[in-house]
Amino acid sequence: MGGVGKTTLMNEIVKELKNKGFFDEVLMVTVSQDLILKKIHDDIAENLGFKLEEANESVRARRLLVRIAQEKRILIILDDLWDPLTLTEVGIPYEDREDIGNDVRGFKCCVIIATRFIEVCDQMNTQYNVEVKVLPEADAWQLFRTSAGDCVDSTVFHEVAREVVKECGGLPVALVTIGKALRNKDQIVWLDAVTQLKKSIPSRIPDIFEDIENMKEAKNRLHTVLDTLKRSCFLLNVDEKEGCVRMHDIVRDVAISIASLEEHGFVVKAGIGLKEWPKMEILRKCKRLSLMQNKISKLPEQMCCSQL
């Protein structure tokens, strides 16, 4: 998923392999969502120490193919792919082989792609797929501690720091960003950060269930959407429970924020320590309501939720 540390991992791989001398050349280029073939050509050429002057894309790709073929052992890392890429169009020699084992020394050019979409891997016929997972609890704490400082070990900050780490859900980009933002801040700022993390993040996405005629069509569309979400790492499989999925905490926050928009009518105030019934203003257009895992002991005498 986004922010799990794919690019950081790729950078470390580059350093490691350059130091070990396993390849004669190790280079990494960023593709990104707005794919510009000319820029990728230029980045590869620059890494190889020359410049492309041609304007025609196929001519540029051919020049790169010839140049890369001069290397005995080369590794090219393509980072942040959003869509499948034809390697030869990029200028990378590629042979569709199914018998590539762990020993890659016999091949001139090896390629690693980093993407958040398994569909990209499938369409590019990758030989090995490696899922980059979120950090386990101990590693997440250590990374956050490095970013936020030793104050997290103090009695003043330790408990709230643990809450922050829990809300980050093992996502390195969140742990590092929030840790640095809270470094040398007072306890009130930390407590406010926890509150903000438990709230939703504003976002919008287009409808995915338009033009549905009946329940069967809706069920089929739901299956397709779920599959897409899983393959894009927005939903995660539960290994021990077949047919079940789970959602990362940060992704859940985004989902709740989208559902909470007025046109969708969801009000989700789950597990936030409410002791009283929510204010009526937010319930007037509410269609679906969740107040689970709170501490509300008294219900209102009258419910002004005509659409609930």
Say what the pTM is. 0.62
Both 15 and 97 in a single domain?
A: yes
The domain of 172 spans 137-197
Number of domains in the chain: 2
Q: Do the domain assignments include residue 91?
A: yes
Do 37 and 110 share a domain, yes or no?
yes
Torsion sign across C-alpha atoms 141, 142, 147, 149? positive
- The model's pLDDT over 110-142, given as tens digits with 9 standing for 90+, comes to 899 999 888 899 999 999 999 998 999 999 999
Among 68, 94, 123, identify where a domain stops.
123
Averaged confidence pLDDT in the chain: 82
**Once rounded to an integer, what is the mean pLDDT over residues 158-187?**
88
**Across 60-64, 93-97, 127-131, least confident range:** 93-97
* Residue 59 falls inside a structural domain: yes
CA-closest candidate to residue 114, choices 220, 219, 10: 10
Does the residue 297 lie in any domain? no
